[in-house]
Amino acid sequence: MMTAASLAQSPASSSLLEVEGVGKRFGGFIALDGINLSVAPGERVGLIGPNGSGKSTLVNCICGTLHNETGTVRFDGHSLNKLESHERTYRGIARSFQLPRPFVTMSVADNLRVPLLYAVHTRRGRHLTIEEADARCIELANSVGLGAKINKSPKDLTQIEMRKLELARAMAADPKLLIADESMAGLSDSEVGEIVEMLIKLNESGITIIMIEHIMRAVMTFSQRLVVLVSGKKIADGKPDDVIRNPEVERAYLGQ
C-alpha cells in the first residue's frame, strides 16, 4: 500500500501551498481581503481568528467549495483557481468539516470508501479491487479507533467518533495537505488531547496540516507556526509564542 508519506514528497517548489492576494466578498461584505499565505511541505500550521474573521472562507477558497474573486491559490506549483473542489482533492488537498458532514445513509466503511473510489481511483487511473478497498477501509478505521463501528451508521456515532470519521475520511483521499476545520469543537479535554495527538502522528507520517481551531491549548500544542486572521486580513504569521504576544493579536481578541 502506498503510504501518505511517499505522496507527500513534493517536487522542486519550496512551498506546498501558496495563497497570493486572495480576496472574496459576499454582496457588500468583504470576507477575505488580499490574503497571502505560504505553507511548506511537512509543516503544521495553526489558523486562528475570531468568529467571522474569514477562516472558513479561506479554507473554502483553498478547497474549492468557494471560488476566490481575486488572487491565486497555488498547490504544488500549479494554480487551482479554475479547478472544482473534487479536482483539488485529486491533487492532494483534503479537508474535514467544521460541522461533521458524514454520508448519513451509508455505513462508516462506505463513508471511507467514497474517497477511495473517487479521489484515489482517479489519481491512480485504475480501480481498487474490492479486497484492496476493504483492507484500506479497515486500516483507516483502525487508525482512528473506529474499527469496531465499521458497519454502523454515522447516526449511531458519538460526537468524537463523528470527528474521527471526518478525519479518517479526509485521510482516505491520501492527501498531501490536510485541512482540519475545527475538529475539536464541543469535545472534552481528554478528547481534544486524543485528536491533537492523532493529527501530530499524521503529520509525522509526512502530511502537511493546517488546523483551524478556537481551543488555544490545542493550537499551542499542535502548531509549529501560527497565522491569525481578523476581519478578512492576515494580521500575524510566525512562531506561536511570538504571535500570541503580538499586541495587534491581543487587541483583536481582547478588544472586542
Q: How far is the CB of 50 from other proteins (least distance, A)?
A: 18
Question: x/- binding map, residues 28-67, to other proteins, per CB under 8 A?
Answer: -----------------------------------xxx--
CA gap 192, 190 in Å, rounded: 5
- Cα(176)–Cα(40) distance, integer angstroms: 11
**Residue matched to cell numbers 519550496:** 14
From 4, 17, 47, 109, residue interacting with other proteins (rule: CB under 8 A): 109
State yes or no: residue 145 binds other proteins (CB under 8 A): no
Task: Report which secondary-structure segment, H or E, holds 135.
Answer: helix 130-143
Residue 170 binds other proteins, judged by CB under 8 A: yes
Which span (30-38, 126-134, 183-191, 208-216) binds other proteins, by CB under 8 A?
Answer: 126-134
17/226 with CB nearer other proteins: 17
How remote is the C-alpha of 5 from its chain's centroid?
16
Among 126, 130, 255, 256, binds other proteins (CB under 8 A): 130
Is there a contact between 173 and 129 (Cβ–Cβ < 8 Å)?
A: no
CA atoms within 13 A on the CB side of 98: 9
- Min separation Cβ 237 and other proteins, Å: 26
Per-residue binding letters, 174-193, with other proteins (x by CB under 8 A): --------------------
Of residues 25, 67, 121, 225, which one binds other proteins by CB under 8 A? Answer: 121
Among positive and negative, which fits the CA dihedral 72, 181, 40, 122?
negative
**Which one, 49 or 102, has the nearer CB to other proteins?**
102
Angle of CA points 183, 188, 190, to nearest 5°: 95
Q: What angle is formed at CA 79 by the lines to CA 231 and CA 68, rounded to 5 degrees?
A: 30
CA distances, 110 to each of 30, 114, 141, 157, 179 (Å): 39, 6, 11, 14, 22
Q: Which of 20, 23, 98, 152 binds other proteins (CB under 8 A)?
A: 152
Judged by CB under 8 A, the residue of 42, 50, 147, 193 near other proteins is 147
Is 174 within 8 Å of 136 (Cβ atoms)? no
Residues that bind other proteins (CB under 8 A): 27, 63-65, 84-87, 89-90, 94-95, 97, 101-107, 109-110, 113-115, 117-122, 127, 130, 134, 137-138, 141-142, 147-148, 150-153, 156, 169-170, 172-173
